[in-house]
Chains A and B, each alone.
Chain A
Amino acid sequence: MRVADDVVCPFCGCLCDDLRVTIDDNDVITRVDNACALGKTKMLHRMDDRLLVPEVRRDGKLERTTLEEAIDTAAQLLAESRRPLIYGLSSTENDAHRAVYRLAEMIGAVVDNTSSVCHGPSILGRQESGEPLASLGEVRNRAQLVIYWGANPLQAHPRHVRRFVRIPGEYIRDPRTERRMWVVDVRRSATARIADRFIKVEPGSDLEVIEALRALIKGRTLDVSEVGGVPIDELAEAAEELRSVEYGVLFYGLGLTQSRGRYRNIDAAIRLVRDLNRFGKWGMMPMRGHYNVTGANETSTWTTGFPFAVDYSRGYPRYQPGEYTAVDMLRHGEADLLLNIAADPAAHFPRDTVRRMRDIPIINIDPKRNLTSLMATVNIPAAMAGVECDGAASRMDELPLYLRKLVDPPEGVLPDRDIVRLIIERIEGAVDER
């Protein structure tokens, strides 16, 4: 039996790194301490629903095959494709991303990560206005007011409140009296129920509420009785409190990025936080979901200059969200092949987009059997990064952390990066033979 301490949890953007993992003599994870239910389940049930053997579809049916044949088929499909789309990346480590960009450049593919359907609008907002980014350590040490806007961490990031907010920090000795927590949401979520203040906005009216707060903070009066379902007196009181805070942080989730207004909401939120910096010290942070979606943006940015939605078809990177984003590439019938790696688009994309996926070959690389694997032309099982192979990932505040290998992957199953390198080698080999 072995015990590994300070293990980084490869589930959500919190990347909690205080897990204690117990592994028995048969390389089975028997116990996970300190993790939330989500992280615990990922580790303890790593062998559930696994893809263990490569599969290739023949006559409409998925048949088991060798890794070599799966790689051959994948390489051939990619070589034949005229407009390949590579998508995913957010649930794997950075070296896998780097291999993927090399492949994308080589074959002239479009490469996009899952932020195009989660915090893509946050990135567009940042490209409009910049962004004052907070750090999780300083939230704990200094924040007197923490706002969750359109986010429900108690369910999506279960340890977020406990690790960073409702806990003493160096300059916040008693978080109950010295730190307040607000929630802004369209319904009274689990997180809202434990908040010190809950502001309930009507669905789709976040932008109006933010702009009203900006006006009130600047001392303007608004000649209305309510904005977005919030009484003006309540907003005025909130604005007054915001102005008096010495150190504040705004966490924002998909409730803000994916509701009406989208990147305009984020742009406005950034400007709100920027305005507040005239009164106190304010920062903000997106509540990133997949554990390494932040890393996917970073690796894409240093390699291509752009955080997502990159097209290599001209031999150099181009960027166009709305055009080279995966949903748009599929919905427009533009992509003639999908290479999916470390994501499950069939489960998360809009229905008409998923319908389009049926018309094109799909190469699917993932540890698990998921909805995309059921539609795939080729399935290649992958090792689970941070459990079965090492690598690096980025926390939601852009802190890089090293993910350790705890146990061996199932027999014959390789890390994502090695699978992609084999595909690259196979395509390069085919070019040389010609």
Chain B
Amino acid sequence: MTQEILLKNCTVYDPMNRIEGEVTDICVRDGKIVESVSTDAQVIDVRRRAVLPGGVDIHSHIIGSKINSARSMCPEDHRRAVVPKTPTTRSGVGEAVPSSFVIGQLYTAMGYTTVVDPAVPPMKALACWEEIPDVPVIDILMLPLFSNNMITYHYIEGQDMEGLRGYIDWLLRATGGFGVKVVNPGGTYAWAHNLNAEHLDQTIPEWDLTPNQILTSLVRAVEELRLPHPVHLHPNNLGRVGNIETTIAQLEAVRRARRTSKRKHILHLTHISFDSIASVDEGSTRWEDVASGGLELAEYTNQHDHFTVDLGQITFGPAMTMTADGPFQYLLHRVSHTKWMNITVDVELPGGAGVVPYSYSPKSLANSVQWMIALEYALNIDDPWRCVITTDSPNAGPFVRYPLVISWLMSRRERETWLETLNSRSLSRSTLSGAEREWSLYEIAIATRAAPARILGIDERKGHLGAGADADIAVLDHMPSDSSLSDHPEEIVRVFHSTYLTMKAGTVVHRNDVVNPSGVRRRVFSVQPTLPEATRKRIHNEVGQLIDRWYVHSHTNYPVPRRYRQALESPIPLRPAT
């Protein structure tokens, strides 16, 4: 049966179609946005409220072994926030690391409809697929980890690029993954020897490989495969004073490899708050000397266009750090003296991922400077299309704090209020206090909707409101004609915290503060690269043999069975060949 909805009197912010604040109607049929609907359509008059595409979160840890280990390790997190069952929703708990049902419900209320989990240990993908039905409403994409994996190294060391492409193809198909995640290449592997990889040209234990070789080979393979999303990079030396040098060196290494690709952006640099730490004393790695590298990275960004970023904006209060960067997590544990989990994942992460609870405080010099990095960056870049708002949830704070981040970007007044609370020594470590720029609602729509959809390569159906898009729509409880948000920062927080109405695939899933996930169509987006059949056959055999040699479970039990995928999985087309 055809289902039609007419959203009347929308003040539309749809950057992909260059619409800024135009009042118009939006037509929806069978889960898609269409040009027109019949007179039978259900009419919802939103009375000139701001209407944006559903939010697209490019980097948020929502499923799988790391967040679940964090949940089980930290019951103290959950007692602060309990969510009772309602007639339409399941119950749950959790502030920094909410339980699965709560995650889907919170995103829905905020108007987000698509979320990327950016760090899936491939051999544990089955657990993610099991968990996904319990994260309601949102569409999900998963990025498996590739960069500290012995099979990846086997092909790169053997200079077998066809093999590397074949392995990426094999693994993405086996796990239902969407793209290639690179985390501290070489470093987490070295962690199996209690070491890290601090220099991009150092050789890592047991392999004749360097972090730069691993990164650039994976970038090349992803470009050759024409995956929709470029390599998603968490750089080396994360969370260390002075690491802006490493980050820019890695960006440069990738830039030099660019000539192999026709695509403009060939790298996504994630959570820059953690990757762009400078020092007042060149070469110093002491936290006493910490300074913001946000401006330096912004200037580099304005000069070079081969990459995109997301912010990983620090927010104050309880958070939970979790990365596939074991040595970083151990370091954080040693300085913060809190609990530490290290999660070894067979040959895919011999050193192991880590989880450490952490709370950011404006009293801390380090945390105050970290807070300024991403804001300084965002207020100094020319092109918001290369910048996505995230908190690397829950690493720099849970995603429910996005409204605060938006208020800092949109309102200078709000920033000044927060700057006053910071450690006073931090203010001279960044240019942020002098920044006058205020992001517009249109720019926010770019950095939370259009840009992430485009960077992910899902922009045919996500991140816009033109005909053919999925009918994922966020109606904010805000009339742009009545007031300016930048003068009313508390309004920014209110309207982005809970929408007037959220629609997902043509179903109203949030209205009048009630989340209702029932009957909504949802998907997990994957990719299916194209490869010559002979290559696929060779790699299938080789990978099977390598798994049986290195793992202690059989390669036949490795892929996630269809039973878990068939109702959800939907492949996204590859980038065109030209």
Q: Is the interface of A mostly helix, strand, loop or mixed?
A: mixed
Q: Which 10 A-B pairs have the closest CB atoms?
A: A137-B346, A130-B339, A305-B93, A132-B342, A135-B344, A315-B84, A400-B126, A305-B78, A130-B340, A400-B127
With a cutoff of 8 Å between Cβ atoms, the chain A residues found around residue B123 in the complex are 399
Bound CA–CA A305/B554 (angstroms)? 31
Closest Cβ of chain A to B259, distance in Å, is 36
Bound CA–CA A8/B558 (angstroms)? 12
Bound CA–CA A318/B560 (angstroms)? 33
Interface size on A, residues (CB 8 A): 66
Task: Determine whether B350 belongs to the interface, using a CB cutoff of 8 Å to chain A.
Answer: yes
With a cutoff of 8 Å between Cβ atoms, the chain A residues found around residue B124 in the complex are 398-400
A281, B192: Cβ atoms closer than 8 Å: yes
A8-49, CB under 8 A of B: which get 1 and which 0? Answer: 100000010110000000000000000000000000000000
Task: Determine whether B194 belongs to the interface, using a CB cutoff of 8 Å to chain A.
Answer: yes
Give residues 83-108 of A contacting B (CB, 8 Å).
Answer: 94-95, 98, 102, 105
B346, A136: Cβ atoms closer than 8 Å: yes
B83, A133: Cβ atoms closer than 8 Å: no
With a cutoff of 8 Å between Cβ atoms, the chain A residues found around residue B126 in the complex are 392, 400-402
With a cutoff of 8 Å between Cβ atoms, the chain A residues found around residue B82 in the complex are 316-318
With a cutoff of 8 Å between Cβ atoms, the chain A residues found around residue B534 in the complex are none
With a cutoff of 8 Å between Cβ atoms, the chain A residues found around residue B71 in the complex are 301-302, 305-306
16 contacts between A and B (CB under 8 A): A141-B347, A170-B347, A247-B192, A274-B340, A301-B68, A301-B71, A302-B68, A305-B94, A305-B97, A316-B93, A317-B93, A318-B82, A397-B344, A398-B65, A398-B124, A399-B553
Task: Determine whether A251 belongs to the interface, using a CB cutoff of 8 Å to chain B.
Answer: no
With a cutoff of 8 Å between Cβ atoms, the chain B residues found around residue A131 in the complex are 73, 341-342
Interface size on B, residues (CB 8 A): 66
Give residues 223-243 of B contacting A (CB, 8 Å).
Answer: none
Bound CA–CA A315/B93 (angstroms)? 11
Give residues 107-126 of B contacting A (CB, 8 Å).
Answer: 123-124, 126
A226-258, CB under 8 A of B: which get 1 and which 0? Answer: 000000000000000000001100000000000
With a cutoff of 8 Å between Cβ atoms, the chain A residues found around residue B577 in the complex are none
Task: Determine whether A368 belongs to the interface, using a CB cutoff of 8 Å to chain B.
Answer: no
Closest Cβ of chain B to A298, distance in Å, is 6
Task: Determine whether B250 belongs to the interface, using a CB cutoff of 8 Å to chain A.
Answer: no
CB < 8 Å neighbour of A302 from B131, B342, B352, B355: B131
A368-411, CB under 8 A of B: which get 1 and which 0? Answer: 00000000000000000000001010110111111000000000
Bound CA–CA A102/B191 (angstroms)? 41
A290-319, CB under 8 A of B: which get 1 and which 0? Answer: 000000011101111111000010111111
Task: Determine whether A179 belongs to the interface, using a CB cutoff of 8 Å to chain B.
Answer: no
B344, A123: Cβ atoms closer than 8 Å: no
Task: Determine whether A259 belongs to the interface, using a CB cutoff of 8 Å to chain B.
Answer: no
Task: Determine whether B557 belongs to the interface, using a CB cutoff of 8 Å to chain A.
Answer: yes
- Further 5 A-B residue pairs, CB within 8 A, beyond A131-B73, A170-B549: A127-B72, A283-B352, A301-B68, A318-B82, A401-B126
B350, A305: Cβ atoms closer than 8 Å: no
Closest Cβ of chain B to A283, distance in Å, is 6
Bound CA–CA A56/B185 (angstroms)? 61
Task: Determine whether B92 belongs to the interface, using a CB cutoff of 8 Å to chain A.
Answer: yes
B350, A17: Cβ atoms closer than 8 Å: no
With a cutoff of 8 Å between Cβ atoms, the chain B residues found around residue A102 in the complex are 90
CB < 8 Å neighbour of B72 from A277, A297, A314: A297
User: Provided the pairs A133-B344, A398-B65, A401-B557 are in contact, do residues A302 and B99 lie with their beta carbons within 8 angstroms?
Assistant: yes
B350, A306: Cβ atoms closer than 8 Å: no
A298, B192: Cβ atoms closer than 8 Å: no
B347-390, CB under 8 A of A: which get 1 and which 0? Answer: 10011100110000000000000000000000000000000000
A127, B342: Cβ atoms closer than 8 Å: no
B83 and chain A: residue at smallest CB distance: A316
Task: Determine whether A328 belongs to the interface, using a CB cutoff of 8 Å to chain B.
Answer: no
B93, A142: Cβ atoms closer than 8 Å: no
B78, A401: Cβ atoms closer than 8 Å: no
User: Provided the pairs A130-B73, A133-B352, A138-B346 are in contact, do residues A105 and B85 lie with their beta carbons within 8 angstroms?
Assistant: yes
Give residues 117-142 of A contacting B (CB, 8 Å).
Answer: 123, 126-138, 140-142
